[in-house]
């Protein structure tokens, strides 16, 4: 907006400004001109530093405007600005001389129209649904007949009246109202606190704990109902351990608390209908049950009574039951007497027949026969015993004789005798042998003497031996060669030297009686 800061005069002698001076002028102009503006735009980048102030950009398709929401304002906002939200911001423009910038100080900011609000609602719904706060498994059943109903709503106005009217029609109950503002900035926080507060009540405490909660509000614009879309309310409703019915706006309005509640009623009146049954219906049902109970038992008794009657009728008279048996008994009794008599008679006859043959003589006769037989058998027995003994006795005798004959003493005597005989024979044989051998020896001696040369010597022959070797000389030639001769006679030997021998060779001169040495030499 350069035209805004054009100096009033465009002449050569225009005054000079310092940067600070011109910045100050600009600031005064802008803040003076735009002390209260409403600006529609889309929320751009949003930053929330720890200081609590909130910085954001407002933009359209061509321009961007920096904005700030101071901490005090930010905490009071009904709708927190989110990026992409179409908003209308109310506030003033200011400059930031240090950076040659201008910006908007926002005093209030709200979604621009229903479309923007619905888009935001949709995003929040998705986020909470993702946490599972709307899950069917979280829904609690409503009590059939709650003793005390807690209602979170405005204590004045049509809503509580509608609820109480409908309760009265159906089933009057005790109701405890927790008053809350149902629209405006405090609505959400109060409703959330009320739901949590009812849940904190202990059974039997100073303030009684309800069995059922109804959170209700009448119809209104989407902005009016907005409090019931807030996260705090939705979380409180989802966390409630007391079953909770939500009834916000009209049938067509759906807020997020409806999704978190255990039951959603389209209107407060409908909430009362969900809360309690119709007493008259219950009484009617009770009466029906009562009638059925009595009728069932009546019918049961009737059926049994009838059955008993029928059975009793079918029972025969006792006398009829026994009459047949009685008659049979009488009949049998009569036959019994007759039969007894007949049996006695028969038995007596049999006895008489049997006893007729029973006399002492019969017994005696039998005994006599038996005695005789006994004597006979006794005699036989003695005889038989004698015979039986005789045979072994004979055998014993024979064996005894045999045994004596085989006595060892006899055997020894016999052998002794034989020994003596054999000894004598042996002596005789030995003596005869010796005799025979002596005779043979004498004969042989005689023969030897006959055959030996000594006998020849007796007949005039001599044995001549050469000296010194003693050899027998049988030829004269030998004798001449010998140095000496030994001549053996019958009674001894004579030694001759040299010539003598040669002169008288063949002459036997038995002078010596050295027979034995001659003989030894000869053999």
Site for other proteins, rule CB under 8 A: 143-145, 155, 160-161, 164, 167-168, 171-179, 193, 197, 200-201, 206-207, 279, 282-283, 285-286, 289-290, 292-293, 296-297, 300, 304
As measured in angstroms, the least distance from the Cβ of 218 to other proteins is 15
In a 3-state reduction of DSSP, which class is residue 153? strand
As measured in angstroms, the least distance from the Cβ of 238 to other proteins is 21
As measured in angstroms, the least distance from the Cβ of 201 to other proteins is 7
Closer to other proteins by Cβ: residue 173 or 465: 173
As measured in angstroms, the least distance from the Cβ of 290 to other proteins is 5
Neighbours of 186 (CB within 10 A): 12
Which among 96, 191, 98, 200 has a CA at the least distance from the CA of 151? Answer: 191
Closer to other proteins by Cβ: residue 304 or 373: 304
Closer to other proteins by Cβ: residue 209 or 508: 209
Q: Lay out the sheet containing 484-488: strands in order across.
A: 463-467, 484-488, 493-497
**CA-CA distance, 251 to 264, in Å (whole number)?**
10
**CA-CA distance, 447 to 61, in Å (whole number)?**
195
Query: Cis ω on the peptide bond leading into residue 468 (within 30° of 0)?
Result: yes
Reading the block at residue 362, the tokens are: 């019969």
As measured in angstroms, the least distance from the Cβ of 217 to other proteins is 16
As measured in angstroms, the least distance from the Cβ of 150 to other proteins is 9
The single residue listed with the structure tokens 């930031």 is 96
As measured in angstroms, the least distance from the Cβ of 288 to other proteins is 9
Closer to other proteins by Cβ: residue 292 or 410: 292
Closer to other proteins by Cβ: residue 125 or 166: 166
Q: What value does the CA radius of gyration of the chain take, rounded to a whole number of Å?
A: 89
Closer to other proteins by Cβ: residue 29 or 193: 193
Closer to other proteins by Cβ: residue 176 or 239: 176
Contacts of 340 (CB under 8 A, 6+ apart): none
In a 3-state reduction of DSSP, which class is residue 42? strand
Gap between the terminal Cα atoms of the chain:
200
Closer to other proteins by Cβ: residue 233 or 473: 233
177 in Cβ contact with 155 (< 8 Å): yes
Closer to other proteins by Cβ: residue 166 or 235: 166
In a 3-state reduction of DSSP, which class is residue 358? coil
Which among 233, 264, 48, 238 has a CA at the least distance from the CA of 132? Answer: 238
As measured in angstroms, the least distance from the Cβ of 171 to other proteins is 6
As measured in angstroms, the least distance from the Cβ of 257 to other proteins is 20
67 in Cβ contact with 57 (< 8 Å): yes
| Distance, C-alpha 376 to centroid of its chain | 93
């Amino acid at each position: 907006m350069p035209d805004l800061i054009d100096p009033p005069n465009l002449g050569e002698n225009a005054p000079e400004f310092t940067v600070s001076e011109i910045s100050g002028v600009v600031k005064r102009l802008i803040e003076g001109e735009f002390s209260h503006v409403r600006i529609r735009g889309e929320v751009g980048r949003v930053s929330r530093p720890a200081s609590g102030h909130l910085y954001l950009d407002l933009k359209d398709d061509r321009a961007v405007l920096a904005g700030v929401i101071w901490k005090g304002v930010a905490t009071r906002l009904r709708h927190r600005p989110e990026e992409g939200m179409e908003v209308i911001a109310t506030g003033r423009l200011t400059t930031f001389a240090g950076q040659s910038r201008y910006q908007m100080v926002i005093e209030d900011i709200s979604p621009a129209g229903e479309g923007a609000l619905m888009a935001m609602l949709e995003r929040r719904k998705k986020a909470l649904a993702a946490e599972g706060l709307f899950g069917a498994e979280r829904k609690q059943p409503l009590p059939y007949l709650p003793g005390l109903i807690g209602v979170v709503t405005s204590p004045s106005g049509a809503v509580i009246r509608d609820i109480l009217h409908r309760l009265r029609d159906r089933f009057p109950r005790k109701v405890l109202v927790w008053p809350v503002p149902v629209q405006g900035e405090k609505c959400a926080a109060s409703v959330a606190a009320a739901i949590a507060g009812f849940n904190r009540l202990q059974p039997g405490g100073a303030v009684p704990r309800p069995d059922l909660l109804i959170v209700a509000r009448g119809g209104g614009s989407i902005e009016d109902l907005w409090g019931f879309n807030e996260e705090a309310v939705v979380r409180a409703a989802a966390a409630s351990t007391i079953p909770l019915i939500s009834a916000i706006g009209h049938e067509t309005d759906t807020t997020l608390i409806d999704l978190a509640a255990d039951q959603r009623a389209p209107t407060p009146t409908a909430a009362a209908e969900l809360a309690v049954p119709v007493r008259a219906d219950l009484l009617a049902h009770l009466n029906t049950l009562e009638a059925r109970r009595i009728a069932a038992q009546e019918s049961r008794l009737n059926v049994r009574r009838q059955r008993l009657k029928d059975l009793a009728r079918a029972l025969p008279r006792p006398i009829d039951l026994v009459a047949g048996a009685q008659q049979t008994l009488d009949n049998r009794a009569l036959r019994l007497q007759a039969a007894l008599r007949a049996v006695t008679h028969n038995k007596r006859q049999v006895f008489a027949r049997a006893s007729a043959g029973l006399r002492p003589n019969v017994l005696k006769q039998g005994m006599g026969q038996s005695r005789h037989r006994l004597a006979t058998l006794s005699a036989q027995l003695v005889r038989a015993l004698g015979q039986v003994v005789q045979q072994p006795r004979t055998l014993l005798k024979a064996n005894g004789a045999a045994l004596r004959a085989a006595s060892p003493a006899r055997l020894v005597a016999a052998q002794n005798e034989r020994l003596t005989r054999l000894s004598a024979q042996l002596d005789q044989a030995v003596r005869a042998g010796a005799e025979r051998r002596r005779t043979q020896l004498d004969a042989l001696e005689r023969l030897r003497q006959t055959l030996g040369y000594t006998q020849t010597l007796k007949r005039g022959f001599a044995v001549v031996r050469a000296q010194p070797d003693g050899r027998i000389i049988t030829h004269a030639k030998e004798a001449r060669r010998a140095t000496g001769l030994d001549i053996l006679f019958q009674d001894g030997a004579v030694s001759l030297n040299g010539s003598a021998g040669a002169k008288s060779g063949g002459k036997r001169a038995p002078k010596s009686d050295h027979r034995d040495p001659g003989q030894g030499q000869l053999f």
